[in-house]
Structure 1
């Protein structure tokens, strides 16, 4: 997924206070911290939150990326610490993690925002070699109930989706030295192929499953022969977590 940049001007970025001086800290990311904006108002999308930061946030808070159902926007360089984890000036949450805010605006599609966020996080995991156990909720650092919706039994599902994206990117790199067919999911019979297509058609049926339905891109990948085995397995976990097999 493309991450569009709208970097906050340096002089407008919230700063840490150390010995009475306003300072910024360089960062080598070791974690990714997941937040939800908690702003359900209409129009409180990624662009609105990016604008809030770009124009100078009145709160002593800053984060790296905001994601909604349409786009992802970067506000801070990944080599600069934000102020988003609630664990103080020297806490690992603030000083060593990339902050990702998922929008919950009422006029947006939250399920699509989750899909986009998992794609972004998977890319960041790949880029900075961050394992899934270091993708953590805001609550991990400060105890705050955030991201509230994901912590209602959906955290594991989200991490699985992020890992699927990470593996998919790994597959792309691997195909430079391996035959693509060796990594693609290839049913061994017509009956199994038809069964798989029927199952994916059902799991991606928005009429039947509403916002819980999986993205139709997965069905298209299968039809085109570009669905990897690891992604096929990951989709089964995601579908089971969303209750699509009931």
Structure 2
């Protein structure tokens, strides 16, 4: 009887582990990102590698600082995105754009969450309505990287959040110091934390550039970093 109980437990454990692996594998097939949050819309892309020709349905939710849901809408991710296709994500017909009327909401900080198939796309994003303020994080070391093999080790413009890296926008950070989606100002330019790097730890930011020559010109510098917040 003890043998049967032990055998049954092993079967249940094996089944649970197998099921968990399958769910993980399924979730890993979905790629996407929230690219832009404008004063009148939220846009991005979502693509299922396991079913590449079927558009995903995304749900966009916005909550205020107190956690109250102030906006929610679904949309089909089927807009053509040539930049996504060029990065290796299917035909590129996986973009979405959801109109949002921010004018009826009071000034302040809002959290934007995009989900599809019970998976969050691009992490949580912050939108600041009204006059934003700057909060200093102190002095950081800043370096540069680009899509070349030497800098990105074959990842090109792909990032750890699913965003497609763009110059004057994307930075790699230590997420324990600067969470993904945070907007920071460095030397007057506002960037978004969308990536991380093996050598980026603590007070260190890696700025994305289009060419390796630009990364060399950047070199290693030190600058005061400000969080852009409401």
TM-score range normalised by the length of the shorter chain: under 0.3
Asked which structure has the greater CA Rg, the reply is 2
Give TM-score, length-normalised by structure 1. Answer: 0.26
Larger relative helix fraction? 1
Give TM-score, length-normalised by structure 2. Answer: 0.27
Larger relative strand fraction? 2
